[in-house]
Amino acid sequence: METISINTSHGGIQGVYRHDSAECRCPMTFAVFTPPQAADGPCPVLYYLSGLTCTHQNVMDKGEYRRAAAEHGVLIVCPDTSPRGNGIANDEAYDMGQGAGFYLDATADPWAKHFRMYSYVTRELPQLIEPNFFADMTRQSIFGHSMGGHGALTIALKNPDTYRSVSAFAPIVNPISVPWGQKAFPAYLGEDRALWRQHDAAALIEDGHRVEEILVDQGDKDQFLTEQLQPEALEAACTNAGIDLTLNMRPGYDHSYFFISTFMEDHIAWHAQRLKA
């Protein structure tokens, strides 16, 4: 593992690192904020999954998570959104290819060789975090934004014994029914719609997957709200399944990091309470 940068912030350490990924078959970069409490022992881990076009850098620069993470003693891990580099499949559009991994393991060519973000986030990255950082891997949670909110929800629903809590900012909750998913899923997964359902939060809940509770914040001025996000689909699925969903519709907020940074501390505090229970 190569250290790219180290900075002190709020008494903790913000680092950026690169390693050769076995899952993605290319170098992958990620960021970790280690809170000051790590000096006294291992800290719980909270993964943040970013949205379309983003890298680890967007939330690191704009997410404003370090003060709250330092206050609550939570280690924050921010992976990239896809494999990147020469020789890796890509698409000229922003919502396919590099920067748009959708947190799944692709099964269709040309994506299958490198686009294995589900296995990277759920298996390889935790195996890297555990021996190299002051992390308590018995206490893990996950959250994300937009495509990353989709990733956080689907990963938590499929691994309820691994993650103690899950939340999202403006998540894509029903990708099989919206343009982003209807474009990405056939490309990455082929035409097997049963496989698509395994990467759709609303469908997973309909098919019997469960978590105890979900926190979602959504801006009512989000430019993608009606066409791409449709939080009412998650609300209906959670109601039918008896999952405790807190859906906060935030007046005036859009899809940007101005929105995310406003409510970031609320989410970290919410996760910290469950990670320390």
Active site members: 146, 222, 255
Is beta strand 213-219 parallel, antiparallel or unpaired with respect to 163-169?
parallel
DSSP codes of every residue in 51-81: -TT--HHHHHHHS--HHHHHHHT-EEEEE-S
- CA proximity to 136, closest of 268, 253, 16, 276: 276
164, β-bridge pairs: none
Q: Which DSSP category does 124 fall into?
A: I
- Most distant CA pair in the chain: distance in Å? 51
In sequence order, the 6+-apart residues with CB closer than 8 A to the CB of 96 are 183, 184, 187
> Residues with Cβ < 8 Å from 253, sequence gap 6 or more?
219, 220, 221, 222, 259, 262
Contacts of 216 (CB under 8 A, 6+ apart): 149, 167, 168, 169, 171, 231, 234, 245, 246, 247, 248
Buried b (16+ CB within 10 A) or exposed e, 147-167: bbbbbbbbbbbbeeeebbbbb
